[in-house]
Structure 1
Amino acid sequence: MEGLGLIDGKFVGLDEHVVPIEDRGHLFGDGVYEAVVVWGGKPFLVVEHIERMFNSASLIRMELPYTLEELVKFHLQLIEESSFEEALIYSQFTRGVAPRKHPFPLGVKPRLSMTIRPWVRLDSNLKTNGAKAVLLPDERWLKCNIKSLNLLGNVLAKQTATENGCFEAILHRDGYITEGSSSNVFAVKDNVIYTAPTSNKILSGITRGVILKLAQENNLLAKEEVFTTDFLLAADEVFLTGTTTEIMPIVSVNDHTIGDGKVGAISKILHEVYMNKIAKECNL
């Protein structure tokens, strides 16, 4: 099976025509989304992801028509129906279907669509040897704390990174690092871990939060502080975090070597304890 879809609780094939032409997600990108990785047939941190979806929906003044428990159930149904052991579940709510006008339509129910597809982890060589990144100005809107469907700025940044042979685009505003196009950014200097504080300028990543907690549990000092592009380039280590990124060490930014050009000790420690957490919670 290539994958499976679910529209408001009903299974559909991925090739079925199920998006109404006047869905506001289609017309405006008016909606929110989440992505959950399935390990060993279990959705990792699914509750945390759904809670963030509720928060994103609240910030765009959209009341979701399902409970957290119902949304967890939909995830489990997709896993059971597909029989996938390792997969990625993508979920999105749009504001609903209505003729195209900017103001919120009255009496319209938000629409849920979900997909599950087999998931292949990133090339292990990237984790072993490190990846490259490029620095770009952060040209996105100023509500990046909302996981909204409006991702054109992220898409353009990621495409620029791809065209430059890089894994990720690391973004900055006025010389201060915000985040990656699809990841959070960490820098290590003198054994201290730094990442941008939560604000409207970054998405508060689920994996980011886990890594900060794991750092504390393993007696690693982590600070949520702003830092500059110059600080990043002078760091001993740089790594990215994200649901599908996991922990990705960066050994080159703008063709500038980070540290000694090898994956750093702290990146290795955090990757190991993160994978141990996944194994424990998903019974791997």
Structure 2
Amino acid sequence: MAEIVYLNGNFVLKNEAFVSPEDRGFNFADGIYEVIKYYGGKPFRYADHMDRLRRSLREISIDFDNLDQFEVVFQTLLEQNGLANQEAGVYLQITRGSHTRIHQFPESIKPTVYATAFPFSSKWDQLKNGVKVITTEDIRWLRCDIKSISLLPNVLAAEKAYEQNAVEAIFIRNGMVTEGSHSSFMAVKNGVVYTHPDSNLILPGITKIVIREICKTNNIPLVEEPIPASELMAMEEMMIIGSGSEVTPIVRLDESLVGDGKPGQVTLLIQEKFFELTKR
């Protein structure tokens, strides 16, 4: 089946979708994106993703407010690509648009809007058995709260993890754990879940919102404060969370086992409650 994508108001074959070489997303990474997971053909936390998208657009001053169209656009993409009623994802990217290359914001410019659908199955082996992650220095800019398409530091960190047979790189900034290259990070000690508070240093994760709710409903203490890197190995459990990671236990950090080297009980409880929500 030929892949269908959405570009600037039209559904077209992917191999016929073209963006100008003058697009500011191409020249400056001047744009933002979102990824939404669909379970059984239904989007998970769609409104939260749209709220974050709206905030990212506002933070970099892209004038685009026609977000109501996307629910239908995404559903159409899923249907036209044979992905309805299964686990799938939709990627949406909005750049400032095309213009002769200048650094300041051009006047009278129309955003470039691109969306595509793709298979997005849960990685059950990792979810069941846990994964290895590494730590690395957080060299990103100071507005990580914007879901920017400028992801080169994340790519470099992810490649470093891959080279060490790990699935994720956990960032350390000024001695404190921030987040992963493509996920949020949580750790557990004495039954208490710890995670970095929302700030300019991390992306406000949608799955993190869900886990806040799970912890509150199930009386699991949750503390949002930076975790010192020096205290990481004192943690009994760790997990990476996100639309792709869902709730994945970490069983090895760098070359050390986390806890007893098996997914922890608090992590597994949160994971169980998470998938109860996705099944709804």
Counterpart-to-counterpart distance in 1, 2:8 and 2:40: 25
Structure 1: unaligned runs, 5 residues or longer: none
Counterpart-to-counterpart distance in 2, 1:2 and 1:209: 36
- Residue type at the aligned position of 1:19: V
Deviations 1:103-131 (A, max 9, x none): 00100011110001122322x22122210
Counterpart-to-counterpart distance in 1, 2:257 and 2:87: 34
Counterpart-to-counterpart distance in 1, 2:63 and 2:183: 27
Matched, 1:10 2:10: yes
Give 3-state SS (helix, strand or coil) of 1:49's partner: helix
Matched, 1:262 2:259: no
Deviations 1:211-238 (A, max 9, x none): 1111111110001011111222210000
The percent of aligned pairs where both chains have the same amino acid is 38
Question: Which is further off, 153-162 or 56-65?
Answer: 56-65
| TM-score, normalised with respect to structure 1 | 0.95
- Residue type at the aligned position of 2:254: N
Query: How much has 1:73 moved relative to structure 2?
Result: 2.0
Give 3-state SS (helix, strand or coil) of 1:69's partner: coil
Counterpart-to-counterpart distance in 1, 2:171 and 2:16: 37
Match of 1:82 in 2: 81
Counterpart-to-counterpart distance in 1, 2:2 and 2:197: 39
Question: Which is further off, 14-23 or 33-42?
Answer: 14-23
Match of 1:100 in 2: 101
Counterpart-to-counterpart distance in 2, 1:70 and 1:113: 13
Query: How much has 1:80 moved relative to structure 2?
Result: 2.8
Give 3-state SS (helix, strand or coil) of 2:227's partner: coil
Match of 1:150 in 2: 150
Residues 141-180 of structure 1 mapped to structure 2, 5 A cutoff: 141-180=141-180
- Residue type at the aligned position of 2:103: H
Runs of 4+ that moved beyond 3 A: none
Counterpart-to-counterpart distance in 2, 1:163 and 1:71: 37
Give 3-state SS (helix, strand or coil) of 1:162's partner: helix
Query: How much has 1:175 moved relative to structure 2?
Result: 1.0
Counterpart-to-counterpart distance in 2, 1:233 and 1:3: 45
Question: Which is further off, 70-79 or 57-66?
Answer: 70-79
Query: How much has 1:14 moved relative to structure 2?
Result: 1.8
Residues 79-228 of structure 1 mapped to structure 2, 5 A cutoff: 79-84=78-83, 85-122=86-123, 124-228=124-228
Residues 239-254 of structure 1 mapped to structure 2, 5 A cutoff: 239-254=239-254
Deviations 1:1-56 (A, max 9, x none): 36421012211112224111111111110000000111111122122111111100
- Residue type at the aligned position of 1:108: I
Contact 2:178 2:201 in 1 (8 A): yes
Counterpart-to-counterpart distance in 2, 1:17 and 1:27: 18
Match of 1:38 in 2: 38
Give 3-state SS (helix, strand or coil) of 2:71's partner: helix
Give 3-state SS (helix, strand or coil) of 1:15's partner: helix
The number of equivalent residue pairs is 278
Q: What RMSD, in angstroms, separates the aligned Cα atoms of the two structures?
A: 1.2
